[in-house]
Amino acid sequence: MAKKSREQAIFGDFQTPPALAALVCRTLAKRQIKPTTILEPTCGDGHFLVAATTYFPTCRHRVGVEINPVRLQRAREALATTPGTKLVCGDFFRVDWSNLLATLQDPLLVVGNPPWVTNAELSVHRGQNFPEKTNNRAGFTGLDGLTGKSNFDISQWICQHLVERLQGREATLAMLLKTAVARKIIADAWSSGAAVHGVELHMLDAKQHFGAHVDACLLLAHTGRAGDRTCRVYQQLSQPEVACELGYEPGVGLIADRVLRDATRGFETTGAHQTTWRSGIKHDCAKVFELRAVDGQLVNGFGEVVDIESEYCLPLRKSSDVAHDRLDTGRYLVVPQRRVGEDTAGLQRRAPKLWQYLSIHGDRLDARKSRIYRGRPRFSIFGIGDYTFSPWKVAISGLYKSLEFRLVGPASDGKPVVFDDTVYFLACASRGQAAAIHAALMSKTGQQFFSALIFWDQKRPVTAGLLRRLDLEKLVEHCRQTREVG
Ligand SMILES: C[S@@+](CC[C@H](N)C(=O)[O-])C[C@H]1O[C@@H](n2cnc3c(N)ncnc32)[C@H](O)[C@@H]1O
C-alpha cells in the first residue's frame, strides 16, 4: 500500500473499489437479503450505495453518513438520480443513532467498510477520531473498556455499537474488516448475549483489493433473534465452499474450528495436568553470547576468535533451525549459569577463560537494557535450569506459523542442544519418552487439538499458553492405546 497521509491514517480513508462493493452486494443478494432500507454508516464516495442500486431492487431508502464533505459530495453526485437517498455529513461517533435508526424501515441492511484505524495510529498522528465515553446498555461488554486498549480499532467500536443499536431490529450487518477485528466483534456479540444469527466470515484478498498486507474479510451477521454460536468461514467471497466453522465456549472464547474442537475437547486441561513448556535461553547481547564454528574455531559476533571452557559452550538451535529442522547449525551459545540467579563470581576460579571472555565484554553485558538483569549476578542469563541440560527434548518454534514439533537429541559432540527464547520445548527424561511425546504431538489428534484453537492469521499463533492447554499425558496414553501416529 502507498504511504498513508496523516488524514488517511486518522480517517482510515481507503475507498472500497467499485468492483469489490459490487461483489459484496452480489454475495448478499444471493443470500436472499432483500432490504427495504440500506444504511452505509461511513459511506465515503458511496460505492456501496451505488452498487446496491443494482443488486437490491426492493430497496426504497438509502442513507449514507460520512465525515468528509468532499467524499460526501462525490457520493451525492453518484447518487443524484437515485430516488429515496439521504446523505448526511456527520461524525459516526457524534451521530444520534437512536434517532436516525428509528426513522429507517426494516428489513435493514447496514453495509460498508468502516475506517480501519487503531488507537496506536491515532496517537502517532494525534488524531481525535474516536468515541466519547458512552453509557452502554446492561449486558454488553463495555465499549468504553475497549478504547483504552492499545490494539483497539475504531472499526470494532463502530460495529459493536451497531450490533447493540440493531438489537430487536430485522437487520443485516455486512462489513469489510480486518479478520482479527471481525473475530473480536463476533466474540463480543456471543459473550454479551447479543441476539445475532447467521454469522459468516468471507475471506478476501486485501492485497488485491486495497494493496494492503492484512488479513481481511466480510463479516455478515443478522439481528432480530439469537442463533447458535457458530460462524461459517468461507475461503473467498465468491466461493460457496465452507472452509470451517468457528465456535464459542464460555470461559474459553472463540474456537477456530468447531468440528475439530468437538473431536478433541477431552484433551483440554487446566491446573495439575498442565505440562510445563519451557522457553529457550534469553541472554541479549547476541554478539557476545552467540558463537559460530568457523574453520574449527569459535567466533563471536564481532569476528573475534573465542576460547572458553568447552562445558560452558552448548550447541544452539534458533527458532528458524527448529522450524526447518536444521540439525548441525554450527552455532553455539555461551552458558555461564546452570540456573536462574546462580552466582557467577565463582567462574573466575572454575572457568578462568570464560570469566576473562565475559569480563572483556563486561561493559556491553552490564549495559543490557532489559530490567530482568537488574540486581542479578553479572553475566546472567534467563530461561535456564536443569531442563536446559536434558539431552532429549521436544521443541517447536514460536515464531513460525506451523505445528511442526521436533524431536531433539544431543548434538554430535554429545552435548545437550539449547534454544533461543522464541522456542518452546519440553525437557524429557529419556529418548523413549521424547519419542512418545513427539509422536503424540504430531498425531492426528494432537494436531487437531491445536488446530481447533489456533487462528493462523495471528502474529504469533503458537504460544506457551496454547501448548499448556493440552493434557499431554492423556494424549500419549491415547496414542499408545490406539496406535495413532501422525
Ligand atoms: C475505509 S473508507 C470506506 C469508505 C466507504 N465506506 C467505502 O467502502 O468505500 C472509511 C470511510 O470512513 C470515513 N470516516 C472516517 N471516520 C469517520 C467518522 N468518524 N464518521 C464518519 N465517517 C468517517 C472516511 O472519511 C472514509 O470515507
- 13 alpha carbon to ligand 1 midpoint, in Å? 6
Look up residue 276 and give its DSSP letter.
-
Cα distance between residue 282 and residue 273, in whole Å? 27
Could you tell me the distance, in angstroms and rounded to a whole number, from the CA of residue 7 to the centre of ligand 1? 11
Residue ranges around ligand 1 (CB below 6 Å): 11-16, 40, 42-45, 47-48, 65-68, 71, 91-93, 112-113, 115, 129
Determine the distance separating the centroid of ligand 1 and the alpha carbon of 25, expressed in angstroms: 18
In this predicted structure, what is the pLDDT of residue 274?
85
Confidence at residue 4, expressed as pLDDT on a 0 to 100 scale? 76
> In this predicted model, what pLDDT tens digit does every residue of 333-373 receive, in sequence order?
999 999 999 999 999 999 999 999 999 999 999 999 999 99
| Ligand 1 pocket mutation pick from 1, 13, 42, 110 by most atoms within 8 angstroms of CB | 42
pLDDT at position 149 is 60
Nearest to 440 by CA among 452, 427, 450, 430: 450
Q: What is the domain partition of the chain in residue ranges?
A: 6-255, 278-482
The residue whose grid cell reads 459490487 is 22
pLDDT at residue 486 in the model: 63
Average pLDDT across the chain, whole number? 93
Contact by Cβ (8 Å): 190, 258? no
Q: 179 C-alpha vs ligand 1 centroid, how far in Å?
A: 18
CATH of domain 6-255: 3.40.50.150
pTM of the model: 0.88
Question: Ligand 1 mean position to 153 CA, how many Å?
Answer: 14
What does each C-alpha distance from 385 to 72, 243, 427, 432 come to in angstroms? Answer: 63, 43, 10, 22
Output the residue whose Cα is nearest ligand 1's atom 10: 115
Question: How many Cα atoms occupy the beta-carbon half-sphere of 396 within 13 Å?
Answer: 23
**For residue 10, is pLDDT > 80?**
yes
The x, y and z cell numbers of residue 385, run together, are 535450569
**Burial state string for 334-365 with b = 16 or more CB within 10 A and e = fewer than 16:** bbbbeeeebebeebeeebeebbebbeebeeeb
* Dihedral sign computed on CA atoms, order 356, 361, 366, 371: negative
pLDDT for residue 101 is more than 80: yes
Q: How confident is the model at residue 482 (pLDDT cuts 50, 70, 90)?
A: very high
Least confident of 116-125, 180-189, 194-203, 328-337: 116-125
* Preceding omega of 461 cis (within 30 degrees of 0): no
Beta-sheet strand order (sheet of 423-428):
278-279, 423-428, 392-397, 406-408
* For residue 384, pLDDT beyond 80: yes
Q: What is the pLDDT of residue 434?
A: 98
Which of 67, 88, 159 is the best mutation target for the ligand 1 pocket, counting ligand atoms within 8 Å of the beta carbon and taking the most? 67
pLDDT of amino acid 484: 79
How far apart are the CA of 125 and the centre of ligand 1, in A? 17
Confidence of residue 148 (pLDDT cuts 50, 70, 90): low
pLDDT tier for residue 239 given thresholds of 50, 70 and 90? confident
Please name which of 190, 412, 370 lies closest in space to residue 283, comparing C-alpha atoms. 370
Closest Cα to atom 26 of ligand 1: 13
